[in-house]
Chains A and B, each alone.
Chain A
Amino acid sequence: MKKVFEKALKAKQAQRQRNAAASATEKFRTLDRLHERSKRLKSGKLAKA
C-alpha cells in the first residue's frame, strides 16, 4: 500500500514539474480553462453538461 502511494506521489510530482515547465502562454491558457470551469461549476452548468 505504501509503495503504491509513493509511486502515485512521484507520478504527481513529475506531472507538476512538466506542467511548471510549460510556456507562459500555455499556462495562461490552462488558467483560462480552470477559471471557465470554476465559473461553470459555481453556476451549476458543469453538472448539467
Chain B
Amino acid sequence: MRNAGGWREDDPAGVVTIHGLPHRILQSVIHGRLPAPGSLSLNEVFRELQAAQLAGLTERYAIGGAVAATVYIEAADTEDVDVFVTLKPSKGSSLVTLEPLNSFFKRRGATAEGEQLAIGGWLVQLLPPPTSLVEEALDAADLLEIEGVRVPVFSREHVAAVALEVGRLKDKVRLQQLVESAGFDRSRFTEIIGRHRLSSKWARAREFFKEHG
C-alpha cells in the first residue's frame, strides 16, 4: 500500500518499509542507532535504559510486571514494559522528575504515547516505585545479560510478591504460575510477603487457587 507521495509501503508481512528499509531500522539510522541484524525489539528498550543509566540519568532501574515474569515462566503477550526507576535530582534542584529521562529518550527517537513512551515498537511505562515492596524488588533485582545488554529484572519471588500485592485476575494467574515454577524459593517468598504484611492476602490467594483449580 502506497501513500499519496508513493514513498511508503507496507509489505505483506506487515512491516512498514520506506525505500525498502524497515521503518524501525531507518529510524535507528536517522538517530544514530543501528540495531544488530535480527536483534530483539525488546533489546532496543533494554539498550536505551542502559544508555540512560550510563548517562547518569537514573539511579536504579529494573524491569517488573509481565516482561519480568517472562524470564521465569512461559512467555505471555503483554501490551507494555513496566520499568521501575529511581532518579537522581537535577543539578541545583532537589526536585526529582521524569522529564530529563523522557527528554533523553525522545532525543534518541522515542515518541510519547499518552503517559508512555514508544521505544522499539514497545510501549514503555516508567514508574517510580509505588510501594516499599517494589522499592525492595528494585534493590534486589537480578542482573541478566541479553545480547550484550545488562538487564536488571525483578527476582522470581519479588515478581510473585508484587503480583500478590496488585491482585488483579491476571496477577493471580501469574502468581500461581510463578509459585509452581521450577526454582521458586518458597521460603524467600514467605519472608518477603511477611515483611510487607501480605501473609493474610497470600492465605486468601491460596484459597482462591484451591477453588479455581
Cβ of A4 under 8 Å from chain B: no
Interface of A is mostly: helix
> Shortest CB–CB separation between residue B13 and chain A, in angstroms?
7
> Shortest CB–CB separation between residue B151 and chain A, in angstroms?
8
Residue of A nearest to B12 (CB): A49
> Shortest CB–CB separation between residue A48 and chain B, in angstroms?
8
Which of these, A21, A29, A45, contacts B40 with CB under 8 Å? A29
Cβ of A20 under 8 Å from chain B: yes
Cβ of A34 under 8 Å from chain B: yes
Tally A-B pairs: CB < 8 A.
Answer: 64
- In the assembled complex, the Cα of A44 lies from the Cα of B133 at a distance in Å of 40
Contact A28 B14 (CB under 8 A): no
Question: Which residues B34-85 have CB closer than 8 A to chain A?
Answer: 40-43, 67, 70-78
Cβ of A8 under 8 Å from chain B: no
Cβ of B96 under 8 Å from chain A: no
Chain B residues, Cβ within 8 Å of A7: none
- In the assembled complex, the Cα of A24 lies from the Cα of B70 at a distance in Å of 7
Contact B41 A20 (CB under 8 A): no
Cβ of A11 under 8 Å from chain B: no
Which B positions have Cβ atoms within 8 angstroms of A?
10, 12-14, 40-43, 67, 70-78, 121-122, 144, 146-147, 153, 177, 181-182
Which A positions have Cβ atoms within 8 angstroms of B?
16-17, 19-21, 24-25, 27-32, 34-40, 43, 45-46, 49
